[in-house]
Amino acid sequence: MKKIAVSVKDLHVSYRGLKKTSIRSTFFNKKNRKKIEVFKALNGVSFELEEGKILGIVGKNGSGKSTLLRAIAGIFSADEGSVDLHDNSISLLSIGVGFNKKLTGKENIYLSGLLLGFTEEEIKTKEKEIIDFADLGEFIYKPVRTYSSGMYSKLAFAITAILETNIMLIDEVLSVGDVQFRKKSYNKMKELIFADGRTVIIVSHTTSTLEELCDEVLWIHDGKVKLKGKPEKVLKEYEEFMHRKK
């Protein structure tokens, strides 16, 4: 019997924010003080992913892809619905998520590792391998706030790649960094995701990558599941849809 690694059921996630209004109108008109905009990023998303499978996620910008990954990772809480990881460990690889920018790269290795559930001793045994893979030189001892997006990506990727979890969530990071690192990270990612038992969810706008790596693709449109199935079928329909929209 095939084991389920991730179960997402009727997931709803909303963002709330105050509408733009002037200080004067807010002060003199009490009604304006409570104007709140609600944006439904996810609206009833449901799917299951078997252990050891690779799922790609596509959709236009603002469709809810990154929100879905953050909800699965436990960074965002659901308004309704549920996410069940079936006791699996999980990591999210995404630019701008997970680092304390005041701390050095080396300190963030330990912070990230502890947040992933590894012990300090376990992280220590992997520290050199992570530093070598990230290849940041002396910047590994400098605050992350001084990093470029490419350097940030290198460190984030190295931590996630070396501190292996049961489930990996990858949010559009394989195209960041210099050419040499992109090649190295892509090869490492292929090695990781094809390892026995590893479950992977990849968000990417590069459909050729998804077609090569994924067992299935999930198409999200305006916070809802539009289609889920074999990569060649879903990606063909998605590309035709986006072409018509242009």
Question: Would you state the pLDDT for residue 30?
Answer: 56
Q: Taking the mean position of all CA atoms in its chain, how far away is CA 38?
A: 23
What is the token pair recorded at 19? 């509408």
Band of pLDDT at residue 228, cut at 50, 70 and 90 = very high
Contacts of 155 (CB under 8 A, 6+ apart): 99, 105, 108, 109, 134, 136, 140, 144, 147
Q: What's the rounded mean pLDDT across residues 125-136?
A: 94
Q: Give the model's pLDDT for residue 194.
A: 74
Give the tokens for residue 91. Answer: 């990591």
Contact 53, 218 (CB under 8 A): no
The token duo for 9 is: 């059921």
Residues 6+ apart with CB under 8 A from 30: none
The pLDDT value recorded for residue 233 is 96
For residue 189, pLDDT over 80 is answered with no
pLDDT > 60? residue 62: yes
Strands 199-203 and 36-50: unpaired
Instruction: Tell which phi-psi region holds residue 172, choosing left (phi > 0), alpha (psi between -120 and 50) or beta.
Output: left
Quick one: pLDDT at residue 102? 94
Contact 219, 58 (CB under 8 A): yes
* CATH class entry, domain 4-245: alpha beta
* Residue 222 CB neighbours (<10 A): 14
